[in-house]
Amino acid sequence: MPVPHPDALVFDVLGTLVDEPAGIRTGIRGSAPALDDVATERLLALWQRRIEREQARIADGERPYRDSAALDREAAEQVAAAAGAGATGGADAVEALARSARRLPPWPDTAAGLARLAERFPLVGLSNASRAALLELNAHAGLRWHLAVSAEDARAYKPSPEVYRLAAEASGHPPERLLMVAAHAWDLRGAQKSGMRTAYVRRPVGDPPAPSDRFDLYAEDLADLAEQLGGP
Kindly report, residue by residue over 94-144, the tens digit of the pLDDT. 999 999 999 999 999 999 999 999 999 999 999 999 999 999 999 999 999
The SS3 assignment for 24 reads helix
The SS3 assignment for 11 reads strand
- DSSP H/E element including 8: strand 8-11
The percentage of residues in the chain with a pLDDT greater than 90, rounded to a whole number, is 88
Cis peptide before 232 (omega within 30 of 0): no
Read off the pLDDT of each residue in 90-96 and give the average, rounded to a whole number.
84
- DSSP H/E element including 140: helix 131-141
Q: How confident is the model at residue 52 (pLDDT cuts 50, 70, 90)?
A: very high
